[in-house]
Amino acid sequence: MPILFSFYLSWVLFCSLASPNSVNLPLKAPSLGNWLVTEGWMEPNMFYGIKNNDLLDGTQGQLISTKLKKYLTAENGSETILMANHNSSSASSWQTFRLWRINETFYNFRLSNKQFIGLENQGNKLVAVSATEKFPEPFQITRKNGEPHRVRFRASNGYFLQAKSEMQVTADYKGPSTWEENDPSVFNMTIVSTMHGEYQITNGYGPDKAAKFMRDHWKSYITEEDFKFMSQNGLNAVRIPVGWWIAYDPKPPKPFVGGSLQALDNAFRWAQKYGMKVIVDLHALRVSQNGSPHSGSRDGFQEWSDSDIQETVAIIDFLASRYADHPSLVAIELMNEPKAPDLKLDSLKRYYKAGYDTVRKYSSSAYVILSNRLGGEWSELLSFASNLSRVVIDVHFYNLFWDNFNKMSVQQNIDYIYRQRSSDLRNVTTPDGPLSFVGEWCCEWEAEGASKRDYQRFAEAQLDVYGRATFGWAYWAYKCHLNHWSLRWMIENNYIKL
């Protein structure tokens, strides 16, 4: 009897460990990007309800004094008085400021050296300060009616910023303004770039509205019906990007809001019901591994480093312990798109090893996905990964984001897939090493005047080549309002046949 009992127990154990083994590789997976980690640029209407929605976190702007016709600059960074002495808008990064939004009218300004604008001790001179030494100065913005790029800023001492002379920018202008050009407290603001990710959405709506906004999004954007659609259309897995704050659900650090964990639980339940596998992809890391809005970045700086390894491993521990025994878990991706050269290969390997060991504490069968560095060498993780078991190298292929694609014709794009991409993929596909995974691709491109048939041929070429990846591929993304970015739209409109 005891023997039978122990046999029975280990049989159950064996089954639950073994079930992810039964996965049929290669995987055909859409990515549920824009559901759990929101990339607002896919859904601009998500931002319509935010006041001053052109002044979100990470917006980069330049300020010209309307009186002096000179740009504000923090020329030499640290300890230098802010000046209004630059002629040209393109000149230097020192005259571009990044906003940190406090609320719809109050902002901090971050400089290109990562310092902030502050006020000299008790005085009214503007200086560059480090956030660790001193609290950055909150400036209240006032915009001219009907001309929102005409702005004034009030400092915490109650006075407005003014450009008295090229060498003297101070916070000591008293009183209102008639918005005349020669008023030294009036500036013209040019927005150079903006960011639209989950940080911007949640901080943009603010604590009162963000929670409801995100809850409504999670409830309506991806539903059980989507899993049914995917499983009926030849897709056998789904890649789900998650943000680091999911580990702190239901009360994540601000501005993020609780609820993403519940959404991920729902996805696992639906995946199981429709016989699909789940790849959990840690897509957004605290202080950002690549500076992109989809990494949860506040201002575009990429600051993830060795000192963040411990917390990031704890997040992997949270995810692995929660889902290791779920029959639908097939893989955990330790970090999406780390970016070279700022993210050092040594740091990445240290983290990957620790993250791998953490997943293995809970599962011997789940695959561990290692994303290649953007801008790194194709083969840079191969020998490291060959020491580990059931690991996968993830590479992302877009005929976008690189000037050379702008000039390519339809045929050149398709040739590029067959020639260059298949060679790139071969470079990470080894007989005994890790498996290969094209973890992101899409059918959007720069080719002008492409017909429906051209899109179909582009899709066929990519399915043909990326189908050779030994682990599989994932399309970015399952659903977005931009047609060719949406796998569901492509399938429903007969652009893609799986």
Chain residues binding ligand NAG by CB under 6 A are: 64, 75-76, 80, 87, 102-103, 106, 138, 149, 188, 190, 377-379, 383-384, 387, 426-427
Closer residue to ligand NAG, CB minimum distance, 36 or 155? 155
* Max intra-chain CA distance, the chain: 95
Helix axes 309-323 and 345-362, enclosed angle (nearest 10): 30
Of the two residues 99 and 237, which places its CB atom closer to ligand NAG in the complex?
99
H helices of 222-308, in order, are 224-232, 260-273
State the Cα–Cα distance between residues 82 and 117, nearest whole angstrom: 8
CB of 179 to ligand NAG, least distance (A): 13
* Amino acid (one-letter) located at 62: Q
Strands (E) in 105-178, as ranges, are 106-110, 116-119, 126-129, 139-144, 147-154, 160-165, 168-173
Q: How far is the CB of 349 from ligand NAG (least distance, A)?
A: 8
> Closer to ligand NAG at the Cβ: 49 or 275?
49
Least Å distance between CB 194 and ligand NAG?
Answer: 13
CB of 440 to ligand NAG, least distance (A): 19
CB-based burial label for 3 (10 Å; 0-12, 13-18, 19+): exposed
CB atoms within 10 A of CB 480: 20
CB-CB contact of 137 with 119 (8 Å): yes
Supply the DSSP symbol for 383.
H
CB of 89 to ligand NAG, least distance (A): 8
Closer to ligand NAG by Cβ: residue 113 or 387 = 387
User: What is the full DSSP assignment across 306-336?
Assistant: GGGHHHHHHHHHHHHHHHTT-TTEEEEES-S
Q: Which is nearer to ligand NAG, 291 or 433 (CB)?
A: 433
Least distance in angstroms from the C-beta of 71 to ligand NAG: 9
C-beta closer to ligand NAG: residue 360 or 457: 360
Give the shortest CB-190-to-ligand NAG separation in angstroms.
4
Residue 148 · residue 105 · CB < 8 Å: no
300 torsion bin: left (phi>0), alpha (psi -120 to 50), beta (else) = left
In the complex with ligand NAG, which residue's Cβ is closer, 75 or 446? 75
Residue 26 three-state SS: coil
For residue 336, the minimal CB distance to ligand NAG (Å) is 21
Would you say 21 or 383 has its CB closer to ligand NAG?
A: 383
φ, ψ of residue 129 to 5 degrees: the values are -125, 155
